[in-house]
Amino acid sequence: MNNKVIIITGASSGIGLACAREFASRGAKLSLAARSTDKLQEIEKELTDAGHEVLVTPTDVSKEEDCRNLVEQTVDRFGKIDILINNAGISMRALFQDLDLNVLKQLMDVNFWGAVYCTKYALPYVLEAKGSVVGVSSIAGFIGLPGRTGYSASKFAMHGFLQTLRTENLKKGLHVLIAAPGFTASNVRKSALTANGSQQGETPRAEDKMMSAEEVARHMAKAIIKRKRTLILTFKEGKLTVFLSKWWPSLIEKLSYNHMAKEPDSPLK
């Protein structure tokens, strides 16, 4: 990754921040995007003080013009784009029958349209570099997770978009990676939206027992370098789940229902 120019959305925390630190340690030049200006400035100082080249751009990926500006600022600063990491995302927890439809729309605007907008404007530069477009997805993009209709729908949509993008550019040297980390310790569940659109505030899962964002970032770096098509992390909740969903979908539906119903205050109870 030495001297590669990498855009990372959702870079202020979790997997995005871990990727920023990991990729910087490998010599990359970073263009970091998130909504929080204060957090971006803290990260910029941390990385520049360590000798890394960093550009930060406050960005709401649900807004097309913000995504266009992010790409333009990156090219103005570095002159190219080698890798785009579509990482910005939000989650939710509620039954569809109880859900305010604006919540589902918000999930699609950030998780799906955010990836589409950023990819649209970055693609000419990534194609020129024969570089990579990465979508940070979830096991929810392979199976429908109960209580996560908007989240699963947005990740399934991202998969369809990225798989088609890969096929369209088969002869142009474009690498497309769909990365599904599985349950990862981060603040995504704390900021997950409830049925009425408010943030749930507390995570319903044991974060200390999950894979760390730093470990995910290391796996993602290796997958990008090796130009893998898909990265599925964790065995039981990742690889095995995806495998069984193809050959025994009814079993996976029952297992995923029972698994999600065990969460504290689960809407499935």
> Residue 117 has which token pair?
């907008």
Integer Cα distance of 174 and 146 in angstroms: 34
What residues form DSSP beta bridges with 161? none
Residue 196 CA, chain-centre distance (Å), reads 23
Catalytic pick among 117, 121, 125, 151: 151
Q: Give CA separation, 205 vs 4, 202, 268, in Å.
A: 36, 9, 15
Helix residue spans in the chain (DSSP H): 14-25, 37-49, 64-78, 101-107, 114-129, 149-168, 213-225, 240-247, 249-261
Instruction: Count Cβ atoms below 10 Å from residue 108 Cβ, excluding itself.
Output: 18
> Residue 208 has which token pair?
């200390």
CB 29 within 8 A of CB 2: no
DSSP annotation string for 171-188: TTT-EEEEEE--SBSSST
Q: Rg for the chain (alpha carbons), in Å?
A: 18
Known catalytic residue at 257? no
Helix residue spans in 26-97 (DSSP H): 37-49, 64-78
Nearest CA to 222 out of 233, 234, 238 is that of 233
Lateral strand order in the sheet of 54-58: 54-58, 29-34, 5-9, 83-86, 132-136, 175-180, 230-232
Please list the active-site residues: 151
